Amino acid sequence: MTDRFYPKPARYFAELTAQRPIFQGDIFRGAFGAWWRHPVAVKATLAGRSVPEDPAYPALSDLTSNVLVRGQGYAMLLPQPCEYAEGEKGATHPFRLVAPLLPLARQANVDHALVRAGEVGHTVWVPNWKPGSPQDYYVDLRLAASIDSTFVRRRTRAAALSRVAWLSLADRLSRYFVGVPLDAGAFSLVQGHRHPDATAALAPSR
């Protein structure tokens, strides 16, 4: 790895065409993450009390009424491509695991400079893919959620990662879910052909 965890914004995104297959790291409009709060914890917190050590399992109605939907604008597709590849068995199941994008400027609970430097473990920095817009985002992996595959279609896709940005994402996912940095060279050799733009060698440089 270099001293820059993510590629520069100009190298972050791939050309998006109607024919491009859905792939890991794609960003979709109208998708979201979620936080399933325990209703007992919510009531205790609002009342200024400590949360019970062994709260009763809540009724389904209490569970569903305490879900907070997060993002509501954009979300990133997380799993590796075999999980949803079009025309393959993976595409037949209805679940898609995504994590929401949150506007970085509106978040006070994370250090913005550290997010951009790749030093906040539960986040993935995402520059703005819309020309002329200065607002950047971050993916919050703690708010990952399974949503219906209907939300994840080519027609709702807003952006796709370049090969070098995909490598950064794979490294971030490995660090977050496994606790181990990615071996960039080995990953490039074994998995680099999977990327839709793999007409040239996947370079680990930034």
The string of pLDDT tens digits covering residues 51-85 is 988 888 888 888 888 888 988 799 999 999 889 98
Please give the tally of structural domains in the chain: 2
Q: Which domain holds residue 54?
A: 33-70
Rounded CA gap, 103 and 101, in Å? Answer: 7
pLDDT, greater one: 4 or 168: 168
pTM comes to: 0.88
Residues 52 and 108 in one domain: no
Same domain, 21 and 38: no
pLDDT digits (tens, 9 = 90+) for 14-46: 999 989 999 999 999 999 999 988 999 999 999
Burial class (CB in 10 A: 0-12, 13-18, 19+), 74: buried
| Same domain (yes/no): 57, 99 | no
189 within some domain: yes
- Rounded Cα distance, 67 and 24, in Å: 26
**Which phi and psi (to 5°) does residue 113 adopt?**
-65, -40
pLDDT bucket at 3, cuts 50 / 70 / 90 = low
User: At residue 146, what are phi and psi to the nearest 5 degrees?
Assistant: -90, 125
160 closest CA partner among 1, 19, 30, 33? 19
